[in-house]
Amino acid sequence: MAFVLILGLGSAARTEGAVTSLPDPARGKALAERLCTNCHLVSDRQTKAVADVPSFAAIANKPDQTEGAVMARIVMPMHPMPVIPITKPELEDVSAYIMSLRGE
């Protein structure tokens, strides 16, 4: 009986929105809209960006692009991109959002 109760509690915890460490493109989009729109075209809702700065869709569609490569570029930016204060989960979310634009 105790075994059944433990299994029941464990499955209830998982189905009620347990904390996950999976990257969330929706959170990444919201974060990018706050941090990156001064230079990049982040989404189709945005109407202007800095000339010669790639859009997020262009970044996603580079040949052989990966989330890891996107994260590396954010963590170790090349001029003129500034250093962005971002946590690892936020970095993963932004990268997941960028890669969700691939093929659009």
5, pLDDT greater than 60: no
36, pLDDT greater than 50: yes
76, pLDDT greater than 70: yes
7, pLDDT greater than 70: no
102, pLDDT greater than 50: yes
CATH architecture of 24-100: Orthogonal Bundle (1.10)
User: How much is the pLDDT for 45?
Assistant: 87
Farthest-apart Cα atoms in the chain, separation: 66
Kindly list the distances between the CA atom of residue 97 and the CA atoms of 11, 15, 28, 104, in Å, as whole numbers in the listed order.
Answer: 29, 25, 5, 12
The percentage of the chain sitting over the pLDDT mark of 70, rounded to a whole number, equals 80
Q: What is the mean pLDDT of the chain?
A: 84
User: How much is the pLDDT for 2?
Assistant: 44
Higher pLDDT, 98 or 1: 98
Listed residue (57, 1, 6) closest to 29, CA to CA: 57
